[in-house]
Amino acid sequence: MISASTREDTTIIDLAVQPLREVNALLQAGRRGSQHPYRLKNPRGQHAIAVGLDAPVHVTIEGNVGYYAAGMNKAATVIVEGNAGPGVAENMMSGRVHVKGNASMAAGATARGGFLLIDGDAGARCGISMKGVDIVVRGNVGHMSAFMAQSGALVVCGDAGEAFGDSLYEARLFVRGTVTNLGADCERKDMTHEDRVRLEGLLTAAGIADMSAEDFTLYGSARRLYHFHVDHANVY
């Protein structure tokens, strides 16, 4: 049985007392069709917190989380008031995940939709194999970010590490700072009006008012890896 308190219609759960498996089951099953808020205290870096949510509940986690927080999210809003371990918002389908600190490697990996906001830096392979998610990182991203990114957008307000956009498909990558080097088949693109509108919308969604689309450089696929050609063998 989950022991919870309420404050201003918010359900408050202490993860130092309640088993995480039971808490996740409660979040997954409860309040469908509503935006009922939950607040989880004392996460203590536990793994797989608030995973598999498929209702528009609102979950705030007070502190740092471990692996795969908010993984497989659908419709829910999850706010992490701390740092996140590897794979935050992995395979997210929809909804919103907001990390107010830094995120480790593979943030937003394979995510198919929704919006991921990281206030700090993101580690290596941010957005790896992303398939429709929009990711905004206020800080820097590590090496091989957007590796094999298929669709969606990655906005980096800081710098990007090595092999950025390696083996990219059709995702759009916007970087405000410098890129150490580009990965195979990733190249700088001219930004169209549609790209600017999309980027401005993402900055607005992230609550970023002191930057504009003109501050960013767009990167996309050169489309040389779609089909093997011997003349391009050196980039495979």
Residues 197 and 213: their CA atoms lie apart, in Å, by 8
User: Tokens 């607040």 correspond to what residue?
Assistant: 39
Residue 57, phi then psi, degrees to nearest 5: -75, 165
Alpha-carbon torsion, ordered 152, 54, 96, 68, to 10 deg:
-80
pLDDT tens readout for residues 187-216: 999 999 999 999 999 999 999 999 999 999
Give the global pTM: 0.93
- pLDDT (tens digit, 9 = 90+) per residue, 79-121? 999 999 999 999 999 999 999 999 999 999 999 999 999 999 9
Average of per-residue pLDDT across 147-153:
97
Q: Give percent of the chain with pLDDT exceeding 70.
A: 90
Task: Answer yes or no: is pLDDT of 2 > 60.
Answer: no
Distance CA 229, CA 137 (A): 35
Domain range for residue 33?
A: 4-235
d(CA 78, CA 41): 14
Cβ atoms of 68 and 92 within 8 Å: the answer is: no
Structure tokens at 235: 């980039």
Q: In what order do the strands lie in the sheet with 96-99?
A: 4-7, 10-14, 37-41, 58-62, 77-80, 96-99, 115-118, 131-137, 151-156, 172-175, 217-221, 186-189
pLDDT at 1: 47
- In whole angstroms, what is the distance from residue 95 CA to residue 55 CA? 9
Whole-number Å distance between alpha carbons of 209 and 196: 15
Give the tens place of pLDDT for each residue, 19-31.
Answer: 999 999 999 986 5
Other Cβ atoms less than 10 A from the Cβ of 136: the count is 23
Average pLDDT, the chain: 93
| Average pLDDT estimate for 2-6 | 57
Instruction: Give the end-to-end CA distance of the chain in Å, rounded to a whole number.
Output: 55
Please check the confidence at residue 8 and state whether its pLDDT lies above 80. Answer: no
Is pLDDT at 7 greater than 90 in this prediction?
A: no
Checking if the pLDDT of 229 tops 80, the result is no
What's the pLDDT score for residue 29?
Answer: 84
Domains in the chain, number: 1
pLDDT of residue 36: 83
| pLDDT of the residue at 227 | 66
Any residues with CB less than 8 A from the CB of 205 and at least 6 apart, and which?
115, 117, 134, 136
Angle at 142 between CA 140 and CA 143, to 5 degrees: 140
Q: What is the CATH number of the domain that holds 156?
A: 2.160.20.60
